[in-house]
Amino acid sequence: MKTMTKSERLYAFLSSFGIPTYEENCVPASQDGIKYEYPYMVYEDTEDTFYGDDQNLTVQIFDKNSSYADIEDIADTMSSYISSQGKVLPVDGGYILVMRGIPWMQKRKETGDKSVKGVVITLRVRYYTEN
């Protein structure tokens, strides 16, 4: 069985939480003029190798809702899944250790549409890979 690349595995991990997930700046526009399908997640793809430092990976979750409750539930599910020990993700040439970053989650300031709520999640990612 083929192991995933680092980018493929990060995407698979983040998209496993049940909402559309996109790399930063790759959120598609819909056919009917509505720009986004809510809720959705956006992340920055970072990579390193065995001898690199921990990388901070920023994940943002957005929802068009009157409260933060639904996106906080998604963040809580992610936090529980990662646990205090972190989550090991096998990849080509090694593995990635995903841990909760500091701060774990922050509410985003409203920008423009007050019905859109967002949170920023910080993941700490350590690469144990050959390249």
Per residue in 92-101, pLDDT (tens digit) is: 988 999 999 9
Helices (H), 25-112: 69-82
Select the highest-mean-pLDDT range: 12-16, 35-39, 91-95, 110-114.
12-16
Higher pLDDT, residue 46 or 83: 83
Residue 1, in any domain of the structure: no
What's at 126, amino acid-wise? R
- pLDDT above 90 (res 105): yes
What does the pLDDT look like over 39-61, one tens digit per residue? 999 998 877 666 667 889 999 99
Mean pLDDT of the residues in the chain = 88
- Can you tell me the distance from the alpha carbon of 59 to that of 122, in angstroms, rounded to the nearest whole number? 6
As to burial, measured by CB atoms within 10 angstroms (0-12 exposed, 13-18 middle, 19+ buried), residue 31 is exposed
Enclosing domain of residue 116: 6-129
Q: How many other β-carbons are positioned within 10 Å of the β-carbon of residue 73?
A: 10
- Please report the pLDDT score of residue 24 as a whole number: 86
- The SS3 assignment for 120 reads strand
Q: What is the CATH number of the domain that holds 84?
A: 3.30.2000.40
Region 11-28: what's the mean pLDDT? Answer: 90
- Can you tell me the distance from the alpha carbon of 79 to that of 99, in angstroms, rounded to the nearest whole number? 9
pTM: 0.86
How many domains, in total, are found in the chain?
Answer: 1
- pLDDT above 90 (res 111): no
| Pair 66, 57: CB distance under 8 Å | no
Helix and strand numbers (H, E) in the chain are 2, 6
**Phi and psi (nearest 5°) for 123?**
-110, 145
Match 């991990």 to its residue by tokens.
Answer: 13
Residue 29, in any domain of the structure: yes
Residue 23, in any domain of the structure: yes
Residue 116, in any domain of the structure: yes
